[in-house]
Amino acid sequence: MQQEVGAALDVEELNGSFPNSPTHPSTTRNDPYQGEGTCEDPYIVDWSSGDPHNPYNWSKRRKWLITSQLAIGTWTVSFSSSAYSGGLNYTQQDLHVSEEVAVLGISLYVLGFGLGPLLFAPMSEMYGRRPIFLVTLSIFTLLHIGGALSPNIATLLACRLLSGIFGSSPLTNAGGAITDIWNARERGLATALYSTAPWLGPVTGPIVGGFVSQANIPHLRWRLSFWLMFIASAFTLIFGFFVTPETYAPVLLRRRAKRLYEESGRSVQYISRYDLTRSTSFKEIMWINLSRPFRFLFTEPIVTLLAIYICIAYSTLYAFFAAFPIVFQQHRHFDPGNGGLAFLGVGLGTIIGTCMTPVQNRLYWRAMDRSETGRAPPEARLYMAMAAGFLIPIGLFWFAWTSQPSVHWIFPILAGVPFGTGVAQVMQGLTAYLMDAYHIYFASAIAATIVLRSIGACAFPLFSPAMFAALGDQWAISVFGFLALACTPMPLLFYRYGRFIRGKSRFAYKEKTGDPIGVGLKSPAETVADTSLEKGGEKRIEVAQNC
């Protein structure tokens, strides 16, 4: 099997971070691309310094507009995961099902979050971010109509599973698009917005869903939440259609190479730099890209360990969707609307955590200024994550031992503030760390973590009611607290040993060479020679596909 080295060069270096580098030939026809334009030596298409088509060179206004759309898209699909929970009681009554069956609407949706990225993340690295985003979000939007009109529980659950699958693409592709348009120094706040959305969405869902389901509209009740999800999704789709262009550099340069080839009357050969060693076999390309998230999950220690940490934090949040109705509605007799308001503490904490992003940014910039190369190591993204990680178990233990009805309701709600703050900062730090460590492979890296966290988030709401019944509120919640406490040292361990671990990886960034898999900053011709591939015992170099 052909090894994977296509698009292996550090995307930031290719995208203009080093304008004086020999890897940036001019893109004007008066100063030709490097090469001879033949099948044996095609012109190598690359970005030039200041190229206006390079996403890194787009205006700040355009970048922030795109980032806003990506964050809204991520929030929308996450919001839809939990807005359903606000009308669970009415779903049970109208469709004549048990609580366990009704909760499957949450679990199957989140399970879809784990299945979709396995396909859509690598496909975005093959065909680009925009087409995958538009196609999947279109289907996602239509599936809400199916949910709203479901005549029985089987149809409803099928729509929820499919909604989760097709709604998962923003969870991975939005982060990939952010790495496409923002360089390492600038992307801190953009990363914070993207990484906070998957947590703020599930928090706001029960609040809105709870009050909407109480609307005195016959035969709608829980169905009204689906129509609200449809409206939010349709807005996101339309916004994305007009605002978000293609951002993935390998796809953009591949299109440029094809256009130049056509303009030459198909007589001059061009090839994108990212495709220098890319296989021409569709079967090989599919296998490499579709298997990559699995290989990351099981062979990349960074991805594996961070996936476990993220899984526990994310699963705990979704366990709250089962725990909060028990604590606030069953034991304290809140109605569904006010029961949803109990999530305000977690929401406030998430916002506070996001507002702390400038502190982390300043620490990261200081690390950049101290670096001899002007580039901070990925571990510099973990300062606030190391400090805020302790807030997660603190919030959980606080919530556990103030959850009994004899304690005023404000105290367990306030426990959500440190939990939300800790989760926001930890997730921002870990997401930014993955972005810096894996660059153009970020979509596959984050897809691997989403698979594991979605499996956990799918299972936790199902067994949480039985767990609360067997252990009681205090000890059931404390179990989650102990799990979070065990994971607290993980950012510290990565800060201390991350560079060593990255040094053993085929895909992670390495300080020695400055690229994901050790291909140094060389000329295109040198890169071709050094990255020749083994196939059938013979070295080969893939050139223009038209030869």
Q: What is the pLDDT of residues 360-378, one digit of tens each?
A: 999 999 999 888 888 889 9
Residue 114 domain flag? yes
For residue 449, give the nearest of 238, 292, 308 by alpha carbon.
308
**Termini Cα distance of the chain:** 22
Q: State the Cα–Cα distance between residues 283 and 300, nearest whole angstrom.
A: 24
Output the 3-class SS for 273-324: HHHCCCCCCHHHHHHHHHHHHHHHHHHCHHHHHHHHHHHHHHHHHHHHHHHH
Query: Exposed, middle or buried: residue 239 (CB in 10 Å: 0-12, 13-18, 19+)?
Result: middle
Structural domain that includes position 423? 58-247+289-503
Question: What CATH number is given to the structural domain containing 469?
Answer: 1.20.1250.20
Chain centroid to CA 136:
15
pLDDT of residue 7: 37
For residue 448, give the nearest of 472, 471, 431, 467 by alpha carbon.
431
Q: State the Cα–Cα distance between residues 280 and 262, nearest whole angstrom.
A: 19
Q: State the Cα–Cα distance between residues 542 and 104, nearest whole angstrom.
A: 48
pLDDT digits (tens, 9 = 90+) for 132-173: 999 999 999 999 999 999 999 999 999 999 999 999 999 878
DSSP string, 192-226: HHHHHHHHHHHHHHHHHHHHHHTS--TTTTHHHHH
CB 186, CB 362: distance < 8 Å: no
Mean pLDDT of 515-532: 36
Q: State the Cα–Cα distance between residues 537 and 544, nearest whole angstrom.
A: 22
- Of residues 545 and 112, more confidence is placed in 112
Mean pLDDT of 327-343: 83
pLDDT band at 49 (very low <50, low <70, confident <90, very high): confident
CA-based Rg of the chain, rounded to a whole angstrom? 24
pTM score above 0.75: yes
Residue 3 domain flag? no
275 secondary structure, DSSP code: G
pLDDT of residue 413: 93
Residue carrying structure tokens 């309701």: 409
Residue 278 domain flag? no
CB 68, CB 37: distance < 8 Å: no
Q: Is 44 helix (H, G, I), strand (E, B) or coil?
A: strand
Question: What rounded mean pLDDT belongs to the chain?
Answer: 82
Residue 378's H or E segment, with its range, is: none
Q: State the Cα–Cα distance between residues 524 and 544, nearest whole angstrom.
A: 14
Instruction: Reply yes or no on whether the pLDDT at 13 is more than 80.
Output: no
Distant-in-sequence, close-in-space partners of 301: CB < 8 Å, separation ≥ 6: 501, 504, 505
Residue 121 domain flag? yes
For residue 208, give the nearest of 73, 98, 104, 81 by alpha carbon.
81
Residue 335 domain flag? yes
Residue 273 domain flag? no
pLDDT band at 206 (very low <50, low <70, confident <90, very high): confident
Domain count, the chain: 1
Report CA-CA distances (Å) from 1 to 283, 285, 287, 292, 535. Answer: 10, 10, 9, 13, 7
Report CA-CA distances (Å) from 319 to 229, 363, 479. Answer: 22, 34, 12
- Of residues 240 and 444, more confidence is placed in 240
Per the DSSP assignment, residues forming a β-bridge with 538 are 535
Residue 134 domain flag? yes
DSSP string, 320-344: HHHHHIIIIIITT---HHHHHHTTH
Phi, psi for 409 (deg, rounded to 5): -60, -20
Report CA-CA distances (Å) from 152 to 100, 104, 218, 232. Answer: 16, 14, 17, 24
For residue 57, give the nearest of 16, 107, 3 by alpha carbon.
16
Q: Which of 184-198, 451-465, 519-533 has the lowest mean pLDDT?
A: 519-533
pLDDT of residue 226: 93
pLDDT digits (tens, 9 = 90+) for 319-328: 777 778 788 8
Report CA-CA distances (Å) from 263 to 33, 116, 260, 266. Answer: 15, 38, 5, 7
Residue 408 domain flag? yes
pLDDT digits (tens, 9 = 90+) for 420-450: 999 889 988 998 899 888 877 887 888 888 8
pLDDT band at 236 (very low <50, low <70, confident <90, very high): very high
For residue 186, give the nearest of 436, 19, 7 by alpha carbon.
436
Residue 188's H or E segment, with its range, is: helix 187-213
